[in-house]
Structure 1
Amino acid sequence: YYCPLVLSVVTIASLVVSLLVPPVGLSVIMAASSSIDVMADCRMGEWIIDSGAVHHMTGDPKVFHGYKLSSGKDRVSLADGSSISVAGKRSLPLLNKFLVHNALHVPHIPLSVSKITKELNCKLIFSADRCVMQDLVTVKRIGIGLASDGLYRLPMRAAQALMTAVSQATKNREDSLQLLLRWHECLGHLPFGLLRQLYICSRLDMTMVSCDVCHLAKHVRASYPLSSHRSNEVFAMIHSDVWGPAGIPSCHGFQYFITFIDDYSRNTIVYLLKDRSDVPTVIETFIAYVETQYGASVKTFRFDNAQEYMCQSVDSFFQK
């Protein structure tokens, strides 16, 4: 019985933890995000990085804390064409931090296999003589496995020290990003390019930081759909609105303006106002202007029910 598992992306690989004694003298250089290099001997056990494994597997029952027994019919196919039985499966802790799910206990397999998935949040880049492990969050190189005897080997002890260093580096980076965003908000969402000029922010990495508020503020509103209702005559329907007050009045004391938009031609006429109480007088002036200059009559007058339109004088004028 073959255990199928489709790899979603080419960078997803698998880690094989060898329970055998590796060749003497083999060592792997690990580079943490804090730029501290760790040289570790591999005689304590290691990961063997394998991009062809299709499932999590281990032959060591001690790494499980109890598991679900298999029916005995499940088997795993090996590269040489043979197959071996599966004793059971359960989630398996990796480096006391990550959890790989549905790991298989295969008693007769000499190696332990653990497939890197999104749970580890990293990717592997293979070359002829090495395999580079890269963190997806910090985009930093977190490990190098050197090729030996056709395998890419990564020592367990170095990996544990590396994970500790990477965890601390990630925490420091998150604290720096929080400090940067706090100053960004306190200074009225100052652009990050200008924020870099501050001494306290000059050494912070701004390549991965972004502000959701700034992105939303730059969005534009979608256009309104075209209306199928339009007047058939010039000045038959008028849309009106009042704007103001302005922060600084004009030299003649105007602080408001009122607009009259012709529904047919979209022509806009603007009158300046010193106060909202001038609205009834200006409406009468506009209606008289349309009748005198264009020989047209306003049949429909639309507004937003603002207080200046709902006064007694405007209502009396339209009832004439």
Structure 2
Amino acid sequence: MTDCNQGTQRFDKMILISSKEFAEFSRYQKLLKESTSVNAFTKSDKTCLITSSNKWVIDSGASNHMTGNSNIFTSFQSHKAPSPVTVADGSTCNSDGYGTVKPTSTITLSSVLSLPKLAFNLISVSKVTRDLNCYISFFPDHCLFR
């Protein structure tokens, strides 16, 4: 684990997630490991799991923050052409743009990709720890951003 507080800034705020949210995250991680039998995406435009949830999954495998909920952007920039993004099961979904999102009153995420057919809102561990100059500790019923 890397301590990102080596710079001149120090962030002492902690963000907690409930045991229920952690259970949802754990269930999602299990689905990712079983992606051969459970797919959240299709290669056609017919069906995909879509959610308007404002809950976020903390994803250690994601290289970017992503959401399928276009209503949560505080600012948004459209791509000139759809941009394909490879998701966990190896399939692709098109990103129609990117922008800024505030998943909580104290966290602002920039360069969040908009993937209209994405079933989850994902926070990239590598991106959030780099952007917020912090580290994340995971526990059985919550996680801490420090």
* TM-score scaled by length of structure 2: 0.54
SS at match of 2:71: helix
Amino acid at match of 1:96: S
The 1:55/1:10 distance shift into structure 2, 3 A limit, reads farther
For the pair 1:71 / 2:64, whether they are aligned, the reply is no
After the TM superposition, which residues 16-165 of structure 1 pair with which residues of structure 2 at under 5 Å, given as runs?
27=20, 46-115=55-124, 116-126=128-138, 129=140, 132-135=143-146
Tell me, yes or no, if the aligned pair for 2:74 and 2:102 is still in contact at 8 Å: no
The Cα of 1:97 is off from its aligned counterpart by: 2.5
Unaligned runs of 5+ in 2: 5-18, 23-52
Equivalent-residue separation in structure 1 for 2:69 and 2:3 (angstroms): 27
Tell me, yes or no, if the aligned pair for 1:68 and 1:88 is still in contact at 8 Å: yes
Tell me, yes or no, if the aligned pair for 1:87 and 1:105 is still in contact at 8 Å: yes
SS at match of 1:98: coil
The Cα of 1:48 is off from its aligned counterpart by: 2.2
Equivalent-residue separation in structure 2 for 1:65 and 1:51 (angstroms): 24
Q: Matched residue pairs, number? A: 99
1:163 is aligned to none
Tell me, yes or no, if the aligned pair for 1:11 and 1:124 is still in contact at 8 Å: no
CA deviations 1:98-143 (Å, max 9, x no partner) are 221111111000111123234444322346x4553152xxxxxxxx
The 1:107/1:10 distance shift into structure 2, 3 A limit, reads farther
* TM-score scaled by length of structure 1: 0.27
2:32 is aligned to none
Equivalent-residue separation in structure 2 for 1:89 and 1:28 (angstroms): 25
The Cα of 1:95 is off from its aligned counterpart by: 1.2
After the TM superposition, which residues 260-275 of structure 1 pair with which residues of structure 2 at under 5 Å, given as runs?
none
Higher relative contact order at CA 8 Å, sep ≥6: structure 1 or structure 2? 2
For the pair shown, the structure with the greater C-alpha radius of gyration is 1
Which segments of structure 1 move beyond 4 Å, counting only runs of 4 or more? 9-12
Amino acid at match of 1:62: N
The 1:10/1:87 distance shift into structure 2, 3 A limit, reads farther
Tell me, yes or no, if the aligned pair for 2:55 and 2:121 is still in contact at 8 Å: no
Equivalent-residue separation in structure 1 for 2:21 and 2:113 (angstroms): 28
The Cα of 1:59 is off from its aligned counterpart by: 0.6
Unaligned runs of 5+ in 1: 1-8, 13-25, 30-43, 136-320
The root-mean-square deviation of aligned C-alpha atoms, in Å, is 3.0
Amino acid at match of 1:27: K
Tell me, yes or no, if the aligned pair for 1:122 and 1:133 is still in contact at 8 Å: no
The Cα of 1:45 is off from its aligned counterpart by: 5.7
